[in-house]
Chains A and B, each alone.
Chain A
């Protein structure tokens, strides 16, 4: 079954700790994305990557970091510098071709920081 997996589904951390969210895809997509969703809000782009070993900041990259060492994997680290880390985090992937193609999303990780 092709798709995107994110783990864990729920994550709890203490303030001041870094935490890494996992995202893996077996769709053979070149591009991967991380979004943040807050209650009643749309999705906001944190980081994206169109090729291994390269990634770009999105609209709200401050306090986050990513890596793309493998095509299938795009982990997101929420650092202690992120002022308001409690949110729902969604990972997505898509093909890269002429034009913009639909992104496929994982089930999300709900992060709570207290």
Chain B
């Protein structure tokens, strides 16, 4: 069965600090996809990244970076030089290949960036 664990329920940092959000997943499939979403206070989920299980390259997009390690079943997300606008709940999600495109979500990490 698929499972996504985000052990950090809440994180609070001061602006300009770097912060890493952890995501650990479980799956029996060799082909799967991992996602990160951001949910600001407005409630709508915003897609951030999709990564397939065969691509272990780390990715950087501006202040955001993602570290995918199959050996530890982790897909961690780092925000560099955090800003107040980064305050949100961040969700990690997993989908197995096979056609249904169902996403299994972690419980989310609430990030608060204080000025």
Asked whether any CB of chain A lies closer than 8 Å to the CB of B95, the reply is yes
Query: When the two chains form their complex, are residues B101 and A96 in contact, meaning their CB atoms are under 8 A apart?
Result: yes
Query: When the two chains form their complex, are residues A42 and B91 in contact, meaning their CB atoms are under 8 A apart?
Result: yes
List B contacts of A92 (CB < 8 A). Answer: 45
Interface size on B, residues (CB 8 A): 27
B100 to chain A, nearest CB (A): 7
List A contacts of B43 (CB < 8 A). Answer: 88, 90, 107-108, 110
How far does the alpha carbon of A41 sit from the alpha carbon of B107 in the complex, in Å? Answer: 5
Query: When the two chains form their complex, are residues A56 and B100 in contact, meaning their CB atoms are under 8 A apart?
Result: yes
What is the 8 Å Cβ interface bit string for chain B, positions 19-47, against chain A (1 contact, 0 not)?
Answer: 00000000000001101010000111111
How far does the alpha carbon of A42 sit from the alpha carbon of B104 in the complex, in Å? Answer: 9
Known: A99-B33, A102-B35, A102-B47. A107 touches B42 (CB 8 A): yes
Known: A41-B107, A43-B91, A43-B105. A103 touches B47 (CB 8 A): yes
A-B contact pairs, 26 of them (CB 8 A): A40-B9, A42-B4, A42-B106, A42-B107, A42-B108, A43-B45, A43-B103, A44-B105, A45-B102, A45-B103, A48-B101, A48-B102, A50-B101, A90-B44, A90-B45, A99-B33, A99-B52, A100-B50, A100-B95, A100-B97, A102-B35, A103-B101, A105-B45, A107-B42, A107-B43, A107-B44
